[in-house]
Amino acid sequence: MESSALENNRRVCVLVLDSSLMHTQLVADVMRRDRGLNVLISESAQAVKATAMDRAINVLVISSNLEGQAQRGFEIVRELRGSSPGTRCVLLLDSSSPECILEAFRAGARGVFSRFESVEKLSKCVRCVHEGQIWASSQQLQVALDVLASVPTFNALDAKGMNLLSKRETDIVQCVAGGLTNREIADRLHLSQHTVKNYIFRIFNKLGVSNRVELLFLTVSQSSNAKDVSNSNAKRAVEPSLQYNAPFLECQRAAQEGSVTAQLLLAEMYRTRNNPEDHIVARKWNLIAIAMMLDADQELSETMSREQLIEAERMADDWLKKKHPIRVCV
């Protein structure tokens, strides 16, 4: 019995809730073929939240369509970000539309799995998500990156040309873009974590963003120009001498040090080369950047109340709907 208990502790604990009890059971049965997974099933959305709070659930596999509501699964994932931040989520999507993919990532999913994929791949998806990776197809990932690329250029000046951000606030933004946590920013700038948190909220208000991920999106273009490693330059870097290109080397160094901006630009440099191996490297850096942005957003979410999370989501939805209208998935 002790050996069996030890084996269970080593396995990845997975909770499954599909659109119906029958589908839930079928998905769970397939996943139980993987002996490295301890697969549990849930009978309702309410039970999911209770189980995630009471037990150490590593990964939640949940349908976007629950209880006859097309987006109920998204709501559950959002709620778990605050109540059970240690639980990583995979959303089962009935639709592969860009709207559904965007909504899944915005809700906080670490993996999106289409109904059109073989359910046998789901175990691999769960393992990847448990290890801290992002699970998405090339097409799904491209949707997220297209949104990132379409965000307007960040400008820290108002209509009169006055600086919106103080010198200290600019330092904070640079640290956030570099992927630093609040604690790391506090250590680097010799501030308290509480002071850093206040600065970040002040920056949000000045720039009209509602979370750390949006702030990172807004700084991509600005940071690109500052480093002279813009997307246009990256697209011209098609020569085989990339490894001797100074902007490339600088971008590579910053990416290795954890700069999300540099990771995205490095991925673009590799993507524009007509070499399948370079495309693999490009996707690697894209996945790393998205994972870091999700981690940063989760860290911020953990400091906020449920009311603040809902308000931030509403503000983000309002902004994104103006640029990318989201339709209800059916």
Tens of pLDDT, residue by residue, the chain (330 residues): 444 443 455 789 999 999 888 889 999 999 999 989 999 999 888 888 888 877 788 999 999 988 888 788 888 888 887 777 788 999 998 877 777 787 888 788 889 998 878 878 899 999 999 988 888 887 777 776 666 555 545 555 555 545 778 889 888 887 876 667 788 889 889 999 899 988 988 888 888 776 665 676 565 444 444 444 334 443 333 333 444 344 566 667 777 877 777 787 778 778 777 778 888 888 888 888 888 877 777 777 778 888 888 888 778 777 766 655 444 333
Q: In angstroms, rounded to a whole number, what is the distance separating the alpha carbons of residues 222 and 227?
A: 9
Burial 87-110 (b: 16+ CB within 10 A, else e): bbbbbbbbbbebebbbbbbbbbbb
> Are residues 179 and 289 in contact, defined by beta-carbon separation less than 8 angstroms?
no
Query: Closest by alpha carbon to 298, among 57, 61, 108?
Result: 108
Token pair 């809730």: residue: 17
Architecture of domain 2-138: 3-Layer(aba) Sandwich (3.40)
Element (H, E) at 323: helix 306-323
Q: In angstroms, rounded to a whole number, what is the distance separating the alpha carbons of residues 76 and 46?
A: 9
> Are residues 267 and 283 in contact, defined by beta-carbon separation less than 8 angstroms?
yes
What is the longest distance spanned by two Cα atoms in the chain?
Answer: 73
Domain ranges of the chain: 2-138, 151-323
Q: In angstroms, rounded to a whole number, what is the distance separating the alpha carbons of residues 71 and 92?
A: 11
CB neighbours of 259 closer than 8 A, spacing ≥ 6?
Answer: 177, 178, 179
CB atoms within 10 A of CB 329: 20
Q: In angstroms, rounded to a whole number, what is the distance separating the alpha carbons of residues 215 and 297?
A: 10
- What pLDDT is attached to residue 207? 80
* Eight-class DSSP state of 328: P
Query: Closest by alpha carbon to 234, among 217, 214, 252, 219?
Result: 252
Element (H, E) at 27: helix 21-31
> Are residues 261 and 223 in contact, defined by beta-carbon separation less than 8 angstroms?
yes
SS (H, E, C) 180-229: CCHHHHHHHHCCCHHHHHHHHHHHHHHHCCCCHHHHHHHHHHHHHHHCCC
CATH topology assigned to domain 151-323: Arc Repressor Mutant, subunit A (1.10.10)
Q: In angstroms, rounded to a whole number, what is the distance separating the alpha carbons of residues 142 and 145?
A: 5
* Eight-class DSSP state of 244: G
Task: Give the chain's length.
Answer: 330
Q: In angstroms, rounded to a whole number, what is the distance separating the alpha carbons of residues 264 and 261?
A: 5
Query: Closest by alpha carbon to 32, among 134, 126, 136?
Result: 126
